[in-house]
Structures are given as C-alpha cells and as structure tokens.
Structure 1
Amino acid sequence: MKLLLDTSVWGGATAVLTAAGHDVRWMSETDPDPGDEKIMRKAYDEGCAPITLEKDFC
C-alpha cells in the first residue's frame, strides 16, 4: 500500500511500515509542514493514503 505520512507522524514509523512491505513517504523528508491542503493534493496525485495524527486535519 502507498502511504503518505504527515509531518505529525513520528519519523520512525516510516521504517516500520516500509519493513512491513508498504511504499511510504514522509512529508518531513521533503518539506517543513507544507499544510493540510498540499499534503492531501500530493496524496491524491500520487495515489497514496494520507496518514496523520492531527485531529483538525483539513
């Protein structure tokens, strides 16, 4: 499964999810918090499921 982790998600989750066979991208690797709308757009464009810990996301 393709996953896009929000900057609110612990970076160590990337290694755990990758080891479980997922294709994972973590937003903190590319940009300092680009905002909810850009994260959702990127997830949609790349066919990823967005993962966040924020209660007020979008």
Structure 2
Amino acid sequence: MSLTGDRRFGKTSVRHLVEDELRSRGCRVAAVSAQRQTLVDVVEAIIRELRKGLWARP
C-alpha cells in the first residue's frame, strides 16, 4: 500500500489503522518511509524490511 498526499491529511492515522487490521489477521507488515535521497534508496529500504520480516513472527 502506498499513501501519498500533503502534510496533515491523516495518512499516518490511516496507515496505523490498516497495519493494526492486517496484524490482527495474522499478516506481516513492513512500513518504510519514502523520504529518501533516491528511488534506489527507497527500494533498498523496502528490501531490508521485507528480509527482516521473512524470519519474524507476525
């Protein structure tokens, strides 16, 4: 899921609701900020989070 928009529009609140719901269903959740220097940095951060989640329990 990707949430975009201006500041103070409730993106963080929506993200927390979605994450809580997914976790309650037994899903693993990885959250990564896209505020990075390059797209490559964003992708690498996502990969790191996904790798961490592969071995973690939900």
Q: When the two structures are superposed, what TM-score results if normalisation uses the length of structure 2?
A: 0.40
Q: Give the structure with the larger helix fraction.
A: 2
Q: Give the structure with the larger strand fraction.
A: 1
Bigger CA radius of gyration = 2
- Higher RCO structure (Cα 8 Å, ≥6 apart): 1
Q: When the two structures are superposed, what TM-score results if normalisation uses the length of structure 1?
A: 0.40
